[in-house]
Structure 1
Amino acid sequence: MTQIRNFSIIAHIDHGKSTLADRLLERTGAITEREMQEQILDDMDLERERGITIKSHAIRMDYQRPSGERVLFNLIDTPGHVDFAYEVSRALKACEGALLVVDAAQGIEAQTISTLYQAMEQDLEIVPVLNKIDLPGADPEGVGQQIVDLIGCDHEEILKVSGKTGEGVDELLEAIVERIPAPGRKSEEPLRALIFDSIHDSYRGSIVYVRVMEGTLEKGDAIRFMATQKEYEAEEIGYLKLEKEQTEKLEAGDVGYVIGSVKSLDDARVGDTVTSVDNPAEEPIPGYQEPKPMVFSGLFPTQSDDFEDLRSALEKLQLNDASLTYQPETSKALGFGFRAGFLGMLHMEIVQERLDREFDIDIITTVPNVEYEVLMSEHGEQQKITVDSPTDMPDQHKIDAVYEPYIKASILTPSDYIGPVMTLCEEKRGKYVNQLHMQSQRVEIKYELPMAEVVFDFYDRLKSGTRGYASLDYDFLEYREGDLVRLDILLNKDPVDALSSIVHRDKAYELGRKLCKKLKDLIDRHQFEVPIQAAIGSNVIARETIPAVRKDVTAKCYGGDVSRKRKLLEKQKEGKKRMKQVGTVEVPQEAFLAVLSMDDDNS
């Protein structure tokens, strides 16, 4: 019986997690030199370019210790962004230990602390690692002190490595064996296996990645997913090496994959428990949640003929990303499209980028929104409805109260930038909670912020205000009542639904004025005068006017009586009046994109 170690790597974006994983794979012989490429576990181009892990991966390594003893490593990689916090928690649940990787030049970031707390809550053994010690700007002593303060370990316990040069990797491999406990082998119990990830294969259906917690799973067993109560047969099971390696059974403590003609990812959800049909477990593994979208946006093809292509592209994306939700939506201005729900802004950006790259579809995205709860009275009865699009917002006179989601944000920044960070949070209607000064001139500032203010441009402005040094992490807090209104944009007195937004009443006037001004520059002049108005209900709060293009009808009159000229001008006036009633105003696509970048101008 060989020993097993199941572990994860906790690190902030760009702290060298994927590079360090490459070195571990090389040293354990999991990949040959011919297969080697940088960031081998990040198989999307997008992941490589941005230096982030979007889809988590797992890989099995066979490590031979200097003493000759063989140990099996299961590295369960985690996505590295706040949007994917739930996937991270499930990946950690499948491990007994975690490597806390910190960049020796940049120090600890908010993301790292957040994931570390999750790992500690699940009683994982933490192995602190200082990476990038070969950099000229590295400060192993100062950053080492930050780690000591954070997790209370000794300086001697911190391993110093370089993922780039491979220095210190052998010591790290030994530390994984010595410090991380082996999983308990409860093979006699009924089967309970945790799904920590799943991918879709167009030939085999959904392939489920599991960590067997208790019991044994054999090839050909009838299995049941406990959350959805769906039953399948385990047609093929195996280990996750660089290529899948088939086996006859997986025992408690093993990490592997199960293929069972699972039609959709919706049946095999991340966090669910797999059990046996013949001898089922009584209780599922705790912690399962439905993926809950936080940010909503409309996706419309720029060419209306691409609607069906967009539908099939979203279907294919959803096969590999169960947290993406969408339903059809119609807009007067933009035609047919979809209302999509995302976990956060990065998730939304990635989906847009993938639609463009993998499916070559040009799309227009409407202003991102969050989900509001609206208490309204109709026919003397009160009811609560959920609204994720400005067009669904009831009329102002029917609304009793609007509740918006709040988050608890934790921002880590060098102490030089406390001013800009606090100014930004106050501007975004934030409520100050506290601040904690750490070693080496770093501060953790906590704020309660409305989610709607964060989804727009908060992250970009936080980065530019602190020269990229600040990092943000957040958790959903609760719904709170707010003075929120629907801001409509009227073109020639007709509302343009795609330009509507839900905003706080205090900001509505300023935003309305800016929008009108921007649209005046972007919309072409017509043969008639076009008023652009911003309105809350029937109350117009801002207006700009696009002047008419005027043809000089009197040019052909040379001299002569003035009444002849007046007659021509009156005739032109009548024509313009009639045209104004029947004419339509074309809104260029740049106008919709301009609304998305509205706040870039005032930052």
Structure 2
Amino acid sequence: MSMSMSMYRTPCAAVSRIRRSPLAFLASEIRNLSTTTRRCIDMEDYPTEKIRNFSVVAHIDHGKSTLSDRLLELTNTIKPGQNQQVLDKLEVERERGITVKANSSSMLYDYKGDKYLLNLIDTPGHVDFSYEVSRSLGACDGALLLVDATQGIQAQTLSVFELASQRNLKIIPVINKIDLPAAEPDAVIEQVLMQFDLDIDSALPISAKSGLNVEKVLHAIVDQIPPPPPSPTPPRQQPLKALLFDSYFDKFRGAVSLIKIESGSIQKGDVVVSHHSKSRYTVGEVGVLNPAEKPTTHLQHGQVGYLVCGMKESSEAHIGDTIYKQSQPVEPLPGFQPVKPMVFAGVFPVDNKDFLRLEENVKRLTLNDPSVTVNRESSNALGQGCRVGFLGQLHLDVFRQRLEDEHDSEVIITAPTVPYKVIQGGEERIVRVPSDFPEPHDLSNKKVSLFEPYVNAEVIVPDEYLGSVIELMSAHRGDQVAFNYLENSNPPRVHLKYHVPLAEIVTDFYAKLKSATSGYASFEYQQADYVASDLVKLNMLIHHRPVDALAMIVHRSKSMDVAKHWVSKLKDVIPKQQFEVAIQAAIGQKPIARETIKAMRMNVTEGLYGGHFDRKLKKLNQQKRGKAKLKTKAVGNIHLPQSAFYDLMKS
């Protein structure tokens, strides 16, 4: 064996040389021992021309995870049968049947007498997780565009195709679910090819569930998707440039980074540097996900795998970072275009004592999701918490569920808000919390201008539901900008484009759309611009005292409906007191909606039998004076308990 080859084989032989005392075999050491005893993959068997990096992109529920399962089975990466959503590893993904996190797996595939390394990345389909798709495509050279043969092109199909096209990836159209009775594969193929101007011979009709024609997909991946660009010199003679495109946290080993090697090579023992933080690390292990971690001798140009290098804090694995060798400094890779969260909500622990634990759990979840922003926030009603920014309402809801499922953190999420723009006295600022919004007396000054974010929304719906969709969009202040029928669509379907305020679609809009169209509509949106708007701050008052955590910014035309809705909800969760409690919604000092919780009344005359009526009247007057005193003393102040907040925000 040559010296260069022996360098790369050292991790596999390391087990025979381990000498440790019994006390050294802690949980982390046992884990390291188990990984090194597994058979290492020699990456010299897979030169650059034998590597294919690809992704599966599609609208939600078109079968991405099912196709991934079949590809893993056909390449003997996993055993056939009893496999459902292998790459959907989060509990929330399995419960909801959706992909939230992009996950990858390397497949070893023998084709026409040659060995190929196929790196698959399964991506989300919902619009809120489009950043996951964009980030994953950055590590790919091609993409499978999956379309449901019973539904045809949907809104997110257009979006993910655009993302793949922007990166000049080779796109292979795959028409799924052709075995269903309602499938129209020929019509959908023609629709896809015309819409996206693709080669008519490139479309592959399959059934991912039954495995029909899925083998042809593997052939197309090898034959049509190009390998990574060739290296001008041998990888070991090039400086290392590795793009960190994802990560996850292991409580024994710290942050585990997923990387794509753009040039050079990396192996155990190398000393590497993070370009983002300038921190230095020693490589402890490299490997591929197969789909579980499998150590390799090394990783080299064009390959995708994982890196363990002792990053103890989750924040050290910066998405888009460039990893290089200490001895060979390099210019950083372009990384990823940062995205701005457009939905903000307060996240508070049910028990104030749990804040530090909650903050740490939030940081862990944001490790591999740079689209989430976190800042500390304090509320008079809820105590210490975090103001967290998300890409959308589903993103927020999934984040909450992951906190509960993975970290056992029961939290209170305040009503979501969007970032508003305020121009006052020539100074521009972004308002993300209602407490920073100008008061009515400031708004009376003509020098104050208010703007709210709008989005460009697209809806694809069967024409029989067209009226319901137009009515719904109008009720949510949407302006129609385009209307056309999709060709070769049966039944006829309409593609609508709207300019609509973001605040109108971040709560229950999607559920209303599905309800209005019996689930047949698809919806997608992208950030657009800020538009001047008539906005007001709605304060919720309990017993004439404002509750900061319940304040919200709304359009003036919606203020009355929103006010009535919230005072009614509050009436249901606030317990009765010994005196009458007023619940009000107000704009400035002017109440616009009110509910009243009647006082509890103790029967003070219960023990009086016989006697004059004046005795009973005296007791009743004493009770009345006592209730009046309660209203003026501190004990009469109503504090909404944490449990009531929790019930309020869940309802």
Same fold (TM over 0.5): yes
CA contact (8 A) 2:274 2:280 kept: yes
Corresponding residue of 2:464 = 416
Change (3 A) 1:279 1:335: closer
Corresponding residue of 1:153 = 198
Q: What percent identity do the matched residue pairs reach? A: 45
Corresponding residue of 2:248 = 199
RMSD: 2.7
CA contact (8 A) 1:59 1:240 kept: yes
Change (3 A) 1:561 1:91: closer
SS at match of 2:143: strand
Change (3 A) 1:560 1:46: closer
Corresponding residue of 2:263 = 214
Give the Cα–Cα distance (whole angstroms) in 2 for the partners of residues 303 and 117 of structure 1.
Answer: 45
Corresponding residue of 1:125 = 170
Residue 296 of structure 1: how far off its partner (Å) = 1.5
CA contact (8 A) 1:187 1:252 kept: no
Give the Cα–Cα distance (whole angstroms) in 1 for the partners of residues 409 and 50 of structure 2.
Answer: 49
Shifted more, 428-437 versus 287-296: the winner is: 287-296
Q: Which residue identity is paired with 1:158?
A: A
CA contact (8 A) 1:325 1:341 kept: yes
Shifted more, 326-335 versus 103-112: the winner is: 326-335
SS at match of 2:316: coil
Residue 394 of structure 1: how far off its partner (Å) = 3.8
Aligned partner (choices 534, 537, 555) of residue 486 of structure 1: 537
Q: Which residue identity is paired with 2:529?
A: E
Corresponding residue of 1:574 = 625
Corresponding residue of 1:391 = 435
CA contact (8 A) 2:265 2:301 kept: yes
Q: Please say if 1:247 is aligned against 2:330.
A: no
CA contact (8 A) 2:537 2:553 kept: yes
Q: Please say if 1:81 is aligned against 2:132.
A: no
SS at match of 1:199: strand
Change (3 A) 1:207 1:99: same
The normalised TM-score by structure 2 is 0.84
Change (3 A) 1:571 1:240: closer
Where do residues 104-503 of structure 1 align in structure 2 (5 Å cutoff)? 104-188=149-233, 190-282=239-331, 284-286=332-334, 288-376=336-424, 383-399=427-443, 400-439=448-487, 440=489, 441-503=492-554
Corresponding residue of 2:597 = 546
Give the Cα–Cα distance (whole angstroms) in 2 for the partners of residues 251 and 553 of structure 1.
Answer: 85
CA contact (8 A) 1:212 1:251 kept: yes
Count of aligned pairs: 590
Give the Cα–Cα distance (whole angstroms) in 1 for the partners of residues 527 and 542 of structure 2.
Answer: 37
Corresponding residue of 1:587 = 640
Give the Cα–Cα distance (whole angstroms) in 2 for the partners of residues 313 and 251 of structure 1.
Answer: 34
Residue 337 of structure 1: how far off its partner (Å) = 2.9
CA contact (8 A) 2:458 2:498 kept: yes
Residue 50 of structure 1: how far off its partner (Å) = 1.6
CA contact (8 A) 1:528 1:580 kept: yes
Corresponding residue of 2:577 = 526
SS at match of 1:52: coil
CA contact (8 A) 1:232 1:260 kept: yes
SS at match of 2:506: helix
Q: Please say if 1:9 is aligned against 2:53.
A: no
CA contact (8 A) 1:516 1:543 kept: yes
Give the Cα–Cα distance (whole angstroms) in 2 for the partners of residues 166 and 503 of structure 1.
Answer: 50
CA contact (8 A) 2:60 2:124 kept: no
Residue 92 of structure 1: how far off its partner (Å) = 1.0
SS at match of 2:402: helix
Give the Cα–Cα distance (whole angstroms) in 1 for the partners of residues 404 and 521 of structure 2.
Answer: 30
Shifted more, 270-279 versus 9-18: the winner is: 270-279
Measured against aligned partners, the alpha-carbon deviations of 1:77-136 in whole angstroms (never above 9, x if no partner) come to: 222222222221121121111111111122222112101111011111111111111222
Give the Cα–Cα distance (whole angstroms) in 1 for the partners of residues 456 and 69 of structure 2.
Answer: 35
SS at match of 1:156: coil
Give the Cα–Cα distance (whole angstroms) in 2 for the partners of residues 27 and 548 of structure 1.
Answer: 69
CA contact (8 A) 1:90 1:270 kept: no
Residue 593 of structure 1: how far off its partner (Å) = 5.8
Change (3 A) 1:473 1:269: farther
Give the Cα–Cα distance (whole angstroms) in 2 for the partners of residues 235 and 319 of structure 1.
Answer: 20
Change (3 A) 1:558 1:376: farther
Residue 279 of structure 1: how far off its partner (Å) = 3.4
Give the Cα–Cα distance (whole angstroms) in 1 for the partners of residues 458 and 68 of structure 2.
Answer: 28
Measured against aligned partners, the alpha-carbon deviations of 1:57-96 in whole angstroms (never above 9, x if no partner) come to: 221112112x322222111222222222222112112111
SS at match of 2:315: coil
Change (3 A) 1:470 1:402: same
Give the Cα–Cα distance (whole angstroms) in 1 for the partners of residues 66 and 612 of structure 2.
Answer: 86
Q: Which residue identity is paired with 1:526?
A: Q
Measured against aligned partners, the alpha-carbon deviations of 1:394-429 in whole angstroms (never above 9, x if no partner) come to: 423235123322221122222222222222222222
CA contact (8 A) 2:419 2:430 kept: yes
Change (3 A) 1:306 1:423: same
CA contact (8 A) 1:7 1:98 kept: yes
Q: Which residue identity is paired with 1:585?
A: I
CA contact (8 A) 1:62 1:70 kept: yes
Give the Cα–Cα distance (whole angstroms) in 2 for the partners of residues 392 and 13 of structure 1.
Answer: 37
Shifted more, 414-423 versus 164-173: the winner is: 414-423
Give the Cα–Cα distance (whole angstroms) in 1 for the partners of residues 179 and 499 of structure 2.
Answer: 39
Corresponding residue of 1:601 = none
Q: Please say if 1:47 is aligned against 2:93.
A: yes
CA contact (8 A) 1:390 1:486 kept: yes
Change (3 A) 1:185 1:265: farther
Give the Cα–Cα distance (whole angstroms) in 1 for the partners of residues 189 and 284 of structure 2.
Answer: 48
Corresponding residue of 1:29 = 76
Give the Cα–Cα distance (whole angstroms) in 1 for the partners of residues 464 and 327 of structure 2.
Answer: 62
Q: Which residue identity is paired with 1:244?
A: E
Gaps (5+ residues) in structure 2? 1-46
Q: Which residue identity is paired with 1:467?
A: S
Gaps (5+ residues) in structure 1? 599-603
Shifted more, 488-497 versus 385-394: the winner is: 385-394
Change (3 A) 1:69 1:525: closer
Aligned partner (choices 142, 149, 157) of residue 97 of structure 1: 142
Residue 159 of structure 1: how far off its partner (Å) = 0.9
Residue 229 of structure 1: how far off its partner (Å) = 4.1
Measured against aligned partners, the alpha-carbon deviations of 1:26-46 in whole angstroms (never above 9, x if no partner) come to: 111222359x62211111222
CA contact (8 A) 1:355 1:361 kept: yes
Q: Which residue identity is paired with 1:50?
A: R
Change (3 A) 1:285 1:313: closer
CA contact (8 A) 1:18 1:39 kept: yes
Change (3 A) 1:225 1:343: farther
The normalised TM-score by structure 1 is 0.90
SS at match of 1:20: helix
Give the Cα–Cα distance (whole angstroms) in 2 for the partners of residues 590 and 413 of structure 1.
Answer: 41
